[in-house]
Amino acid sequence: MKRWLLLVWILIVPAAAALADYPLLWKKLNLINPGSDVTRGLAYNRATDHVLVASRKYATDLMILNAATGDSLGKMNTTGISGGTYHINLVTIADDGVIYVCNLSAPQYSPGSKFKVYRYADEAAAPELVFEDALENGRYGDAFVSVGSGDQKFLYAAGMDNAKMAVLRDAGGATLTLDHYINLPVPGNARHGVSPVAPLGNVWINAAGPLFPPTLITNGGTIVAVCPDTLASAGGTSGITHLELGLYKFIVVANGYSASVRTIEYTEDELGTVNFAYFGGNSDSLALSCNNVINSNPNATGLIAYDSKRNALLTVIGMNSVASLSFDKMLKTSTPRDSNLTVSIDGANDFFPTDHVGVSNGRHMYFTWSEGKVFAGVTGNTLVNPQQNTVVVWAFDLDPDGAQGSYQPPTNDGGVQNLPFRADVVYVVDPWNEADFMTGRVFKWNGTSWSAANFDGNLAGQGALAYATPNFAEFSAIKNAPGIGTSFTKISNMLYVAQQGSTGEVLSAFPGINATGKAPAFTAYYHADRLGENMFPTDTRYLQVRISQPSGVAQTGASSPGRFHLAQNHPNPFNAATTIRFDLARPGPVKIEVFDLLGKSVATVLDEKREAGSHQIHFTGEGLSSGIYYYRLSSDQQTALRKMVLIK
C-alpha cells in the first residue's frame, strides 16, 4: 500500500548567513523632520498594497504611500480627529482590513486628556470615533496594534512608564469595549513595541534601553521568555514585530538609536521553552539614516511592518526615514524556491504570505514554483474528511495561445461542465481518511479525449506529489513527462475542491471570483507568461487573474432579451459611478457581486428576484480603493464574469 512506502523528503535549507542583510528597496525622507519626532506610525494594507503612515510633518495626516516605490498617493480623511497630546500618533490594520488610528494621551503633558481610537472601514472612508476613555489617567498611544478579524478583533495599547497595557475589543458595534488590562513585568515594558501572536494569546513587547529587552508574555502578563539584549541589539531596541513564515518564527526589532534593524529566530519546544538564535550575519550596519546622518532620537522611535507581497520589512525610524527593506536574502520566498528554501510536500505548511493568491468560501490557495515543480496549497477541509467524498481538481493550460486541449474536465465531480480554458493536463487528487500522502490520476488530452494514469502521492517520478492533513493539502505538479512536461513557457491554471460525482457541489474554486455550488461554469483562471526568477506569486505583475469565455457561457456580443448575458459596465474605467446591464432568459433569483484581485467579495450590488428581460443597475464603488475589480452575475443556472477598473 502506498502509505507504507518510503517518504520522499525535500530538505529545507536555511538562508546562508553570508546573504544576511536587508537590501534597500526604497527610502523616503519627505515625512521626516530631523529635529522633531513627527512621524511614528506605519502599517501595511494588504487589501490595497499601500503603506499608511501617521505623521504630523504637515498637519494631522494619515498618508498613503505606494508600497512598491514609497511614492505618495495622497491622504486619508482625518476630518474631526482631535484630542490628546498628539491627535494622531499610530495606525494599525486588523486582519480583515479594518483600519484604526489612535492619539497619544499623555496626562503629564495634557492633563485630563483621553485616549481616543478612530476606525475606518477602508482607505476611502471617513473616520468614526469608536473609543474615548481616560483609562485610569495613564499614558497610552506610544504603542498600538491590532489582531484578529470579524467580531474577534482586539487592539493593544501601551505607553511610556505605564505599568499596564489596555486590551480593547471591536465586536463590530458602534464603540469598542475595554476587554481587560495586562499588568506588565516592568512599567514601560511595552512602550515602543507590541506584537500579539494571536488574539488573547501570548504577546511580544519591547521598549527602548537595555533594561527592556524583547519579552514574550502571556495574556495575563506572565513572562514566557526574554530575548537577550545582546541578540536583539546591544543598548536596547524599540519597535518589534513577530513573523511566522513557513516553518520559521522570528522577531524583528528596530533600533531607534542606531536607525537599524535586526532579526532573531526563536523556537518553542513541547514544554513551551523558548530558545533564541541570531538569524543572519552582522546586519546592524544598515543605516536607515536621513541624508547619511543618523539623527539622535531620545524617544528611540522605530516601528516595523511586514509587506506580504514582496517579503519586505517596512520601517519608520522616527527622525531618520521611512523605508522598505527586502527580507528575501534573510529568508528566500521569491522564485524559484530551490536555492535557499524549497517547498516540502510532507504535510508541513511552509508556503509563505508571498505565495497567497486567492480566497474561496473561507479556503485559501497558495501557489509557487521551483526549477522542477509547480506547487499549490489549499487550507481547509479539502481531502481528509469523515465522508471521504471530496476531490481536488487542478487543471493546466500549457499552450494558452494554442488550440490544444479541452474545455470539458475529465471527471464530472461537482457537476462541472466547463473549465475556463482548453486544459492540456488535469490532476484529480482522491480523498483519504487520515493525514498522509494521497493517490490520484493525471489526465492528459490526446487530441480527441482524456487519457489517465494513476499516481502515488510520494513518487515524483509519476508526475505528482500530494499530501493532506485535515486542515491543509499540498500538491506538486512535476515538470517531467508523466507530469506537466518540460516544453511549456506560459502557463494557466485553476484549482477547485468538489464533492465526487455529477450530483455533488463545488466547495471552493480558485481564483475565488469563480462561482461555486452545483454545476458552476468557471470563467476565471491564473496566468503566468513565464515561471521566472525573483518573482512573488501574490504580485499580479507575475501571476494574473484572467477571464475567458468557455463554451456554453455567453459573455460577449450585443445585448438581446431572451438570453443570459452580462454586458461590460459603462463607463469603464469609472470614477464615482458606473452602470451594469444584464439580460435574463427567464425570471428567477439573481446576484451581482464585486470581487478584488484575490477573489474576496467586496460588495454585493444586487441580490433579489428579477423578471426575464433586460435590466440595469448602478454601482458607485463607495468605500473601495482605486484598482481592478471583477463583477459576477449569478442566477440559479448560470454565471458570467467581467472586469472593471475603478479610478478615484
- For the chain, count helices (H), then strands (E): 1, 45
Average pLDDT rounded to a whole number, residues 340-356: 79
The residue with greater pLDDT, 561 or 34, is: 34
Q: What is the pLDDT of residue 489?
A: 93
Q: What is the pLDDT of residue 341?
A: 57
Half-sphere exposure of 271 (CA within 13 A, CB side): 3
Q: What is the pLDDT of residue 256?
A: 84
Q: What is the pLDDT of residue 339?
A: 53
In 3D, which of 353, 346, 349, 348 has the Cα closest to residue 328? 353
d(CA 586, CA 606): 17
Q: What is the pLDDT of residue 222?
A: 96
Q: What is the pLDDT of residue 637?
A: 66
Instruction: Please write the tens of the pLDDT for every residue from 572-598.
Output: 888 878 999 998 888 889 999 998 877
Q: What is the pLDDT of residue 280?
A: 65
- DSSP assignment letter at 290: B
SS (H, E, C) 335-356: CCCCCCCCCCCCCCCCCCHHHE
Average pLDDT rounded to a whole number, residues 266-277: 89
**Buried b or exposed e, range 400-421, using 16+ CB within 10 angstroms:** beeeebbbbbbbbbbbbbbbbb
Instruction: Please write the tens of the pLDDT for every residue from 599-609.
Output: 778 899 999 98
177 has a pLDDT exceeding 60: yes
| Cβ atoms of residues 259 and 289 within 8 Å | yes
Instruction: Please write the tens of the pLDDT for every residue from 75-86.
Output: 999 999 999 999
Instruction: Please write the tens of the pLDDT for every residue from 281-319.
Output: 544 446 788 888 888 888 888 999 999 999 999 999 989
| Cβ atoms of residues 480 and 461 within 8 Å | yes
54 has a pLDDT exceeding 50: yes
Task: Extract the C-alpha cell encoding 172.
Answer: 463590530
d(CA 295, CA 135): 34
| Cβ atoms of residues 464 and 455 within 8 Å | yes
Burial of 249 (0-12, 13-18, 19+ CB in 10 A): middle
Contact partners, residue 589, CB within 8 Å, separation at least 6: 607, 608, 609, 610, 635, 636
555 has a pLDDT exceeding 60: no
Q: Is the previous residue joined to 511 through a cis bond, with omega within 30 degrees of 0?
A: yes
**Buried b or exposed e, range 605-639, using 16+ CB within 10 angstroms:** bbeeeeeeeebeeebebeebbebebbbbbbbeebb
Instruction: Please write the tens of the pLDDT for every residue from 380-395.
Output: 989 998 888 999 999 9
Residue 238 DSSP SS3: coil
When pLDDT is cut at 50, 70 and 90, the band that residue 237 belongs to is confident
| Cβ atoms of residues 39 and 80 within 8 Å | no
550 has a pLDDT exceeding 70: no
pLDDT > 90: what percent of the chain? 63
Contact partners, residue 482, CB within 8 Å, separation at least 6: 442, 453, 455, 461, 462, 463
Q: What is the pLDDT of residue 291?
A: 85
Burial of 533 (0-12, 13-18, 19+ CB in 10 A): exposed
205 has a pLDDT exceeding 50: yes
d(CA 290, CA 524): 46
Burial of 451 (0-12, 13-18, 19+ CB in 10 A): exposed
Contact partners, residue 292, CB within 8 Å, separation at least 6: none
- Domains by residue range for the chain, with CATH: 34-326 (2.120.10.30), 335-547 (no CATH), 565-646 (2.60.40.10)
Distance, first Cα to last Cα, the chain: 59
Neighbours of 174 (CB within 10 A): 8
Q: What is the pLDDT of residue 9?
A: 24
Neighbours of 213 (CB within 10 A): 21
Residue 630 DSSP SS3: strand
**Strand segments (E) across 385-511:** 390-397, 425-429, 436-437, 439-445, 450-456, 464-468, 472-478, 491-499, 506-510
- DSSP assignment letter at 401: T
Identify any residues that bridge with 151 across adjacent strands, giving them in sequence order.
none
Average pLDDT rounded to a whole number, residues 353-375: 93
Q: How far is CA 335 from CA 45, 324, 331, 392, in A?
A: 23, 20, 12, 24
Q: How far is CA 343 from CA 247, 340, 377, 536, in A?
A: 10, 10, 10, 14
Give the pTM.
0.85
| Cβ atoms of residues 237 and 214 within 8 Å | yes
Instruction: Please write the tens of the pLDDT for every residue from 84-104.
Output: 999 999 999 999 889 999 999
d(CA 276, CA 287): 24
- Of 39-43, 106-110, 335-339, the range with the lowest mean pLDDT is 335-339
Contact partners, residue 261, CB within 8 Å, separation at least 6: 22, 252, 253, 254, 255, 283, 284, 286, 288, 302, 304, 313, 315, 325
Average pLDDT rounded to a whole number, residues 510-532: 92
Instruction: Please write the tens of the pLDDT for every residue from 57-66.
Output: 999 999 999 9
422 has a pLDDT exceeding 50: yes
259 has a pLDDT exceeding 90: no
- Of 53-57, 69-73, 254-258, the range with the lowest mean pLDDT is 254-258
Q: What is the pLDDT of residue 10?
A: 25
Q: What is the pLDDT of residue 258?
A: 84
When pLDDT is cut at 50, 70 and 90, the band that residue 3 belongs to is very low
554 has a pLDDT exceeding 60: no
Neighbours of 37 (CB within 10 A): 18
44 has a pLDDT exceeding 50: yes
| Cβ atoms of residues 496 and 414 within 8 Å | yes
Average pLDDT, the chain: 88
Average pLDDT rounded to a whole number, residues 200-217: 88
pLDDT > 70: what percent of the chain? 92
